[in-house]
Amino acid sequence: MDIILLQANTLATDSSLNNSSSYFPIGVQFLFALGFVGLVLGVTHLLGPKRKTAEKLQNFESGIEGVGNARHPMAIKYFLVAILFVLFDVEVIFFYPYAVNFRGLGWHGFVEVLLFVGFFLVGFIYIIKKGALHWEE
């Protein structure tokens, strides 16, 4: 009986740690970080050199001078591959929490990950069937 009372007392003291005052240090750190960023940006803006010449204001990319009009049509496949890469790359990030907690999640977690992989593969097969990765015309 004493063990049950001792466990009940520990649970009562642990729940008192979950109030809003326990987030105060995080808020202070956040405010210091915002203040530091604002201070550094302000100081560099005030003290930095301001030499606006025609050559400095001219557009360039990778040190190469621009030639021609930038408004010519470009193949959409480059953008499609980039978007698909980001999409599937972000989905792979969701495997990390499972990898960290796979023992605690048990068979239920394993089935959930199998469903996730199944949906992932269905999306990938759909993309292949639509020819999104087919580059030859």
What pTM was computed for the model?
0.43
φ/ψ (deg, to 5) at 60: -150, 160
Domain contains 136: no
Q: How far apart are CA 52 and CA 106, in angstroms?
A: 63
Kindly report, residue by residue over 111-134, the tens digit of the pLDDT.
Answer: 998 998 899 899 889 988 988 777
CATH number for the domain spanning 114: value is 1.20.58
The tally of domains found in the chain comes to 1
Domain contains 137: no
The helix (H) or strand (E) run that includes residue 61 is: strand 60-61
Kindly report, residue by residue over 63-97, the tens digit of the pLDDT.
Answer: 666 677 777 777 777 888 888 888 888 888 888 88
Q: How far apart are CA 5 and CA 7, in angstroms?
A: 5
In 3D, which of 82, 76, 75, 87 has the Cα closest to residue 126?
87
Range of the domain at 52: 2-130
